[in-house]
Amino acid sequence: MENIHKNILHLEPSRGLLNDPNGLVQFNGKYYVFHQWNRFGLDHSYKEWGLFTSSDLLHWHHEGSAILPDSMLDKDGIYSGSATVANDQLHVFFTGNSKQNGQRKSYQRQAVSNGNFKLIKKEKGLETPDEFTEHFCDPYIIKNNGEWQMLLGAQTKKYQGAIAIYTSPDLYSWDYRGIYFGNPILDQMCECPNLVDFGEEKVLLVCPQKRQIKPDKDISSYSGYFIGRQNKYRFLPENRIQKLDQGFDFYAPQVFTDEKGRKIMFAWMSRMNESQEQQCPTREYGYIHCLTLPRKLVLKKGQLYQKPLEEYRNAAKLERHFREREHEFQMSTDFEIYEMEPADNDFKVELCNKNIIIEYKDGQPWLKRKDWSSNNYEQKKIKISAINNLSIYCDCSAIEIFINDGQIVMSARYFCF
């Protein structure tokens, strides 16, 4: 049976469950997108890294498995991490999950490749410092003032979210430098930190998680960011946390700098709840979840913008609409972009056979999405005072909406029947 939900440009696995983008890098001209992968099933019981490669960010090839949970320090899962290039070698860093007597134990591990896809793991791993629980994960590597730095998502023994920092002169020996950022806003745990370097100004991406401690369980989580500065090994925020994406499906973003100097972000395009995940129509075809499109990050006058890449705008069928009050777009079987400038602050755009609706009513903009597991609409208030322009990137079951040149972005999965 034809799969009408199969996306054209959003990366998704041919089988199994995909979650976080990992190890994003451009190495010898080639783009690498590793990802969390259960290639055996549609649940989270097994984790390895899979790999997509591309030479233009548009045409991708899935290379299959890249790192397997095949050693004592990672036998229960290759968790998220990042990559960098040094001395013509690709270095990836990831968290090895190795349960001991049923209890989680984390090791921060490294693997190196000289140019082929074979990554050789270093034998040892970093153990968790005393002040944290074993929720210590997702190493993010950056170079700062000539020094390598590694940020980690953490939970203190007082059950507060935190980001830890290590430094290294050579990527091989690492020194723990304490808590880079710890703040009650990081809830009971923090995952997948990223630091985006705009010179003096830095953007810190975080995924705070509210947790119930007994039994240890994720209650809710989201992706946010701070703009601020770095003083030695501490991050000093200059604003309050902001959501990276105001839509329904966005988590665990990762940012890398490509050879053109662009800061490019991918994220896992899912925040599905249990029943949405259980009833996700792609299960029938043996796979579940996708990544967002890559977005370029720009910092302008203290404001972070997320912009679609030129490559994608050029590749799509583009329709432009100006100063109309009502739009209705049916679902098509192609990747399409709609660019719009609404007539005024009172409009309605219906997309994908009314599965997605953007409506500005009585001074308040809303995003509505039909939930395929209940058939009801879910809605989110869009936190913005005026909508000047919209760019809507519409794939067969994934939509990304960029408002006011990327000041606000909203991502959502949807399924037409």
Q: Is 245 in the site for ligand FRU (CB under 6 A)?
A: no
Residue 385 Cβ vs ligand FRU, minimum distance, rounded to whole Å: 32
Closer residue to ligand FRU, CB minimum distance, 266 or 360: 266
Among 5, 10, 35, 47, binds ligand FRU (CB under 6 A): 47
- Binder among 20, 277, 371, 400 for ligand FRU (CB under 6 A): 20
Q: Between the CA of residue 352 and those of 46, 141, 284, 372, what are the distances in Å?
A: 34, 39, 21, 13
> Does the protein bind ligand FRU through residue 138 (CB under 6 A)?
yes
CB 44: neighbour CB atoms within 10 A? Answer: 12
CA separation, residue 373 to residues 132, 248, 398, 414 (Å) = 38, 14, 16, 11
Q: How far is the CB of 351 from ligand FRU (least distance, A)?
A: 27
Instruction: Find out whether 239 and 226 touch, Cβ atoms under 8 Å.
Output: yes
Cβ 254 to ligand FRU, closest distance in Å?
Answer: 10
Q: How far is the CB of 58 from ligand FRU (least distance, A)?
A: 26
Is residue 183 a contact residue for ligand FRU (CB under 6 A)? no
15: how many CB neighbours lie within 10 A of its CB?
15
Instruction: Tell me which of 95, 133, 276, 411 binds ligand FRU, using CB under 6 A.
Output: 95
Whether 248 and 267 have beta carbons less than 8 Å apart is answered as no
* Euclidean distance between CA atoms 287 and 297, whole angstroms: 30
74 or 191: CB nearest ligand FRU? 191
Question: Would you state the structure tokens that stand for residue 287, as one six-digit string?
Answer: 């796979």
Closest approach of Cβ 372 to ligand FRU, in Å?
Answer: 22
Rounded to whole angstroms, the Cα distance separating 417 from 415 reads: 7
Contact 250, 400 (CB under 8 A): no
Q: Does 110 bind ligand FRU (CB under 6 A)?
A: no
- The residues annotated with a catalytic role in the active site are 20
Nearer to ligand FRU, 41 or 169 (CB): 41
Is residue 36 within the footprint of ligand FRU (CB under 6 A)?
Answer: yes
Question: Does 137 contact ligand FRU by CB under 6 A?
Answer: yes
- 128 binds ligand FRU per the rule CB under 6 A: no
Q: Is 17 in the site for ligand FRU (CB under 6 A)?
A: no
CB burial string 129-157: b at 16+ within 10 A, e below: eeebbbbbbbbbbbeeeeebbbbbbbbbe
User: Which of 97/282 has CB closer to ligand FRU?
Assistant: 97
Size of the site for ligand FRU (CB under 6 A): 13
| Length reported for the chain | 417
Distance, CA of 77 to CA of 247 (rounded, Å):
29
Q: How far is the CB of 36 from ligand FRU (least distance, A)?
A: 4
For residue 219, the minimal CB distance to ligand FRU (Å) is 14
Q: Which long-range contacts (CB under 8 A, 24 or more apart) does 298-302 make?
A: 298/263, 298/406, 299/198, 299/201, 299/203, 299/227, 302/227, 302/238, 302/239
Question: Residue 312: in which H helix or E strand, if any?
Answer: helix 310-315
Where in 65-84 is the site for ligand FRU (CB under 6 A)? 79-80
- Binding to ligand FRU (CB under 6 A) within 387-416 occurs at none
| Whole-angstrom distance, CA of residue 17 vs CA of residue 46 | 9
- Decide: is 252 part of the binding site for ligand FRU (CB under 6 A): yes
Of residues 12, 74, 187, 191, which one binds ligand FRU by CB under 6 A?
A: 191
Q: Can you give the binding site for ligand FRU, defined by CB under 6 A?
A: 19-20, 36, 47, 79-80, 95, 137-138, 191-192, 251-252
